Amino acid sequence: MQLTPLSSTQTLFTRDGNPLAVDANWFNPEFWLDQNKVFAQKTGRATAYFFAHKELKAVLRHYWRGGLVGKVLRDEYLYTSMRNTRVYQEFSLMCTLYQQGLPVVEPIAAMVQKSGLIYRGDIITRALEGAVSLCERLVAEQLDETTITEIGVTIAQFHKSGVYHADLNINNILFDKQNKVHVIDFDRGEIRPANTQWQQQNMARLQRSFVKEATRQPHFHWSTQDWQTLEKAYQRAMAD
């Protein structure tokens, strides 16, 4: 990973070998909107901007706080060092996972903007072609056993590599147009020594997200048997 100071307040992160000429403008949604290069926007806790530039289709995401703290500070984080920023940690982790061949989206660039003891951050990743979240799939259709099994096997891939995901849920699991499973959003994630305690905590969090979404959606194609299929595939892959 390469760190490039753009000014006394801005630091750019790029992946080693990335040939793209990224600059500070890339992290401003208006820059892409003014050129009519934004082809989609997705709103959750914040808006993610999908933009097209030459051969690249990418997603720009700003770092926003959640919970009660987020109502006050919104996007402000305490700066202690560059390596301690959530931006540096997530981008660095994603570069490592991408280089290892794990099914994550390609990290393109990230930026920290520092003002005194406060910083704000943004990250850009390559957009998955035809991406649909697991949540969206389950609202639309029943998954077959092969697809459910693939989800469990994919999570096991990450856990066997020591990858802790801080918010493993059905919105952070994506399918591409070939139906391949990917995991996204590694904010506050890290590589840890293999341990069944945190691995099972990850799985319990995922299971809760199925239950939670089932109560929110009028049509949600998921059952206890589906979870058992997923968990069995996960445990089998962990034992291999």
3-state secondary structure of 151: helix
Looking at the fold, whether 165 and 217 belong to one and the same domain comes out as yes
Verify that 56 and 101 share a domain, yes or no: yes
Please tell me whether residues 7 and 38 are part of one structural domain.
yes
Helix (H) or strand (E) holding 175: strand 173-175
Of 126, 146, 162, the one marking the end of a domain is 126
Per-residue DSSP letter, 162: T
- Tell whether 122 and 138 lie within a shared domain: no
Per residue in 10-26, pLDDT (tens digit) is 999 999 877 788 999 99
Alpha-carbon Rg for the chain, nearest whole angstrom, is 18
**Do the bridges between strand 10-14 and strand 2-5 make them parallel or antiparallel, or are there none, so unpaired?**
antiparallel
Question: Looking at residue 143, what is its pLDDT?
Answer: 98
Contact at 8 Å (CB) between 164 and 198? yes
pLDDT score, position 20: 82
Same domain, 157 and 78: no
- 213 and 232, same domain (yes or no): yes
What pLDDT shows up at residue 114?
96
Q: Do 107 and 214 have their domain in common?
A: no
Spans of the chain below 50 pLDDT: 68-72
Residues 85 and 149 in one domain: no
pTM of full prediction above 0.85: yes
Residue-wise pLDDT for 157-200, tens only, equals: 999 999 999 999 999 999 999 999 999 999 999 999 999 999 99
Of 76, 96, 126, the last residue of a domain is 126
Same domain, 60 and 151: no
Domain count, the chain: 2
**What local confidence, expressed as pLDDT, does residue 65 receive?**
84
Structural domain containing residue 60: 2-126
Are 65 and 86 members of one domain?
A: yes
Q: What is the DSSP letter of 149?
A: H
Note the pLDDT of residue 70: 41
Among 126, 160, 189, the domain boundary falls at 126
Residues taking part in catalysis: 167
Q: Which helix (H) or strand (E) holds 112?
A: strand 107-115
In one-letter notation, the amino acid at residue 224 is: T
Same domain, 8 and 118: yes
Examine the domain organization and report whether 37 and 9 are in the same domain.
yes
pLDDT at residue 99, rounded to an integer: 96
- pLDDT of res. 73: 63
How far is residue 9's CA from residue 216's CA, in Å, rounded to a whole number?
A: 43
Give dist(CA 82, CA 154) in Å, integer.
31
CATH at 178? 1.10.510.10
Strand partners, 48: 42
